[in-house]
Structure 1
Amino acid sequence: MVHYLRFFFEAGVDTPLWPEDMASPYGYPCDLARLPISRETRDELARLSEWYQSSIDWDYPPNPSPWSDEESRRFEQQALGALDVLRRELGEGFVVRDERLL
């Protein structure tokens, strides 16, 4: 059985992983602790999710991001790196689609 996950960051959510199947054994959104990945990868995904929250103007969320272009680039590079590691650790039993808005 192959598990399909979507990778994107969401306001107010502490994980970037969402199963295609809402009845997934990994939760909806995914509980990182339920996934067969290393503690380091779980910590990195949680860190990125927390960092993403600072990209939002919480006083008025429709406003543009308070991030500089440089911070946006750093975040995207680190998110892509974490996605690569995640895919390697999950292996062939998982398909992780990158659904970030780039």
Structure 2
Amino acid sequence: MPHQLRFFFEYGVDTPLWPDPSVGPGLDSPYGYPCVLERLPLTAVLRGELGRLAELYQSSLDWDDPAGPSPWSGEQHASFRREADGALEALRRELGGDWCVEDRRG
């Protein structure tokens, strides 16, 4: 059975990767919960890109008014989505067939 990860961004979290709880308790994952990027077999370039995107995602929330609208424009949302799509594709390519990465973004 391949290693399983979930891919999604969360406010206050510096990674978009999470162990899949359906294959065991996430807190027991050897990759951390959420996943520590340095524990995964990824290139430094991809680890940097995933970290950059997780950090960028934080700016999509108005931290002074979390219930309010996002400070991002529609184009910023679309641009982020394209960049995240590219990072997910690169992630799947780097990890290969021994890994299943489920896209859990809404």
| TM band (smaller chain) | over 0.9
TM-score normalised by the chain length of structure 1: 0.96
Name the amino acid aligned to 2:84.
A
Structure 2 counterpart of 1:79: 84
Cα deviation, 1:28-67, whole Å, max 9, x if unaligned, reads 1000000001000000000000000000010121111110
Distance in 2 (CA, whole Å) between partners of 1:56 and 1:80 is 20
Q: CA deviation at 1:89?
A: 0.3
Distance in 1 (CA, whole Å) between partners of 2:13 and 2:6 is 14
Aligned residue pairs total 101
Distance in 1 (CA, whole Å) between partners of 2:30 and 2:62 is 34
Aligned-residue identity in percent: 60
- Is residue 70 from structure 1 mapped to residue 75 from structure 2 by the alignment? yes
Provide the secondary structure at the position in 1 that maps to 2:4.
strand
Structure 1 counterpart of 2:10: 10
Name the amino acid aligned to 1:99.
R
Of residues 59-68 and 43-52 in structure 1, the stretch that sits farther from structure 2 once superposed is 59-68
Provide the secondary structure at the position in 2 that maps to 1:44.
helix
Cα deviation, 1:44-97, whole Å, max 9, x if unaligned, reads 000000000000010121111110011101000000000000000011111000
Name the amino acid aligned to 2:89.
D
Structure 1 gaps, min length 5? none
Structure 2 gaps, min length 5? none
Structure 2 counterpart of 1:90: 95
- Is residue 25 from structure 1 mapped to residue 30 from structure 2 by the alignment? yes
Distance in 1 (CA, whole Å) between partners of 2:67 and 2:45 is 33
TM-score normalised by the chain length of structure 2: 0.92
Q: CA deviation at 1:3?
A: 1.1
Instruction: Pick the structure with more helix per residue.
Output: 2
